Amino acid sequence: MIISLFRDLVANLAIFTSSIILINTIFSNASRLENFYAIEARIFPLKDRIIIGVVEGIVGSLVMLYGFQIDNSGVLVDLRHFSIMLSAMFGGLPAALITGSIMALFRYTFINNIDIPSLYGAMNAVNMSIGCGLIVTFVKSKRRWIYILLYCLISTSIMGIVLIDAVKTLIVVLAVFWLIGIMGAFFIYRIVNYLIKASYSQEKTRINEERLRLITENMSDGITVMDTTATILYASPSTKSFGLDLSKIKSNRDLMKRIHPEDIRAVCESFLGVIKTRAEMVTEFRWEYPVNNWVYKEMVATPVTENGKVSKVVLVTRDITERKNIEHRLAYLSNVDGLTGVANRRFFDQALTAQLTHAKQTKTDLSLLLFDIDHFKLFNDIYGHLAGDQTLKKITEAIEEMMDPSSVFARYGGEEFAVILPQNTRSAKEFAEKLRKRVEQLEITHLKTKKGIVSISIGIASVQHSINMLENDLIDLADKALYQAKNNGRNQVSVHKQN
């Protein structure tokens, strides 16, 4: 008897296992639950609760077909209460009542004869349905599963005591029933908990993948994943900003063709540096898009390590053309005089330092011309500052036309200007005379000068390749020469003579 009882109750568990998997597959709402303890009947709509009640009622009825018959007493031992417990957990009192009613009808009508055991069995099914439904509804403890299990085991045991006369048989039946009941409840709990967690994880994964897809498809930054040989493994749709489908690129040469020749080395060194150092690197480069038009890109390369080695590199690339244009514009504005449009004092200081360094390294001559407009303060007093500004513009435009790429022309301050020439003293003096005459040719009226027109005075200081000189020293010498030109009557060129 014991072996048969065990065998039939194990068959009951197999049926329940199948039903649990079926229910989990049918009801996608279970994916909202994190685990078994999060089961709440209210998350399921009434329609689903009714379906749960019907399904579990059918499962419980099938279980009775594989139940253990005790002699000819009509007593049937099975695990039908699990159907009621599951129905109550997932569907609450309505589902439990539906399950219990179906099982009661089936037990009283189709199992054995219509007799007292069948009637008690049907009544117990309804009793367990009401009890389990009420416990699940009003008890919020995580131990609800244990509470409804005990209620069902005790209720069924009372029915056994009432219906089974033989004490020995009763003891064996109850012992096996309680053992299988407790083990089965634990087994069902583990299966349901596993399935709920799996569904929850799958749903979370699906949501995260959907979010990632939306991000990668709509973000402006391009995401590319490469292996250590720079072969593209993945390219987000946003990489269309590169002007080609990176996901179809097979050869790295196709990528190199689009990078500015001057930037290829920096890009390659950055990529290899990430693999070598396993540290994030940022690189800026120029990319050809469309044809014959260069845009600026910023690439952030991040290593992906596996077993201590870099296996992949994630590249996040964004277009920084607008930013670079702003930077260039700001750099230009910071080095340009706002009134005349020529280089300002800041740029002049940088250029003079660079030119002096170059002259020392190449052992060439360098000359500095300082000039200002004669009696310019009187000009502003007589003709007004607006006329003075226009005069500065006309003079700078005329002189700028005379400059070659190797020269630097800058506004030094007020009406004073400077010219850096990579020439010796003689050539610089000849050029200075041309400047002076060019200003005279403008014939800008100035009644306070000797000729009645605007003129300039120029001072020149030169440094030979054999002499080391600091920037301030050269400026001081040119300024002294300019002062000498003014003392000699203005509108002339004066050269500082080295001792």
Residue 343 neighbours by CB under 8 Å, 6+ apart: 335, 336, 337, 351, 408, 409, 410, 411
| pLDDT in the model for residue 14 | 65
Closest by CA to 349, choosing from 415, 424, 412, is 412
Q: So what's the pLDDT on residue 172?
A: 86
CB burial of 369-396 (b: ≥16 within 10 Å; e: otherwise) equals: bbbbbbbbeebbeebeeeebeebbeebb
pLDDT score recorded for residue 12: 62
Structural domain boundaries in the chain: 2-209, 222-324, 335-495
Q: What pLDDT sits at residue 6?
A: 60
Predicted local distance difference test score (pLDDT) of residue 483:
96
What angle, 0 to 180 degrees and rounded to 10, lies between the N-to-C axes of helices 144-163 and 81-110?
A: 30
Instruction: Give me the tens of pLDDT residue by residue for the chain, a chain 499 residues long.
Output: 566 656 656 666 666 666 666 565 555 555 567 777 777 656 677 888 888 889 888 888 887 877 667 766 667 777 888 889 988 988 889 999 999 999 999 888 877 667 788 888 889 999 999 999 999 989 888 889 999 999 999 999 999 898 888 888 889 888 988 988 898 888 888 888 887 787 778 878 888 888 877 877 777 788 889 999 888 888 888 777 777 776 666 667 778 888 999 999 999 999 999 999 999 999 999 998 877 788 999 999 999 999 889 999 999 999 998 888 888 788 777 899 989 999 999 999 999 999 998 888 888 999 999 999 999 999 999 999 999 999 999 999 999 999 998 899 999 999 999 999 999 999 999 999 999 999 999 999 999 898 999 999 999 999 986 567 889 999 999 999 999 999 999 999 999 976 4
Strands in 345-415 per DSSP E: 366-373, 408-413
Beta partners for residue 298, in sequence order:
284, 318
Greatest extent of the chain over all pairs of C-alpha atoms, in Å: 144
CB 72 within 8 A of CB 29: no
- Collapsing DSSP to helix, strand or coil, 75 comes out as strand
Cβ(407)–Cβ(430) below 8 Å: no
Short-list 321, 301, 305, 310, CA closest to 224: 301
The CATH class that applies to domain 2-209 reads mainly alpha
Residue 161: count of CB within 10 angstroms of its CB? 11
Give strand pairing partners of 313. Answer: 226, 303
- Do 129 and 101 meet the contact criterion of CB atoms below 8 Å apart? yes
Distance CA 364, CA 355 (A): 10
CA-CA distance, 150 to 139, in Å (whole number)? 14
Residue 390 is predicted with a pLDDT of: 96
CATH topology of domain 335-495: Alpha-Beta Plaits (3.30.70)
The top-level CATH class assigned to 222-324 is alpha beta
How far, in Å, CA of 457 to CA of 435, rounded?
Answer: 10
Question: Of all residues in the chain, what percent are helix, strand and coil, respectively (each to 5)?
Answer: 60, 15, 25
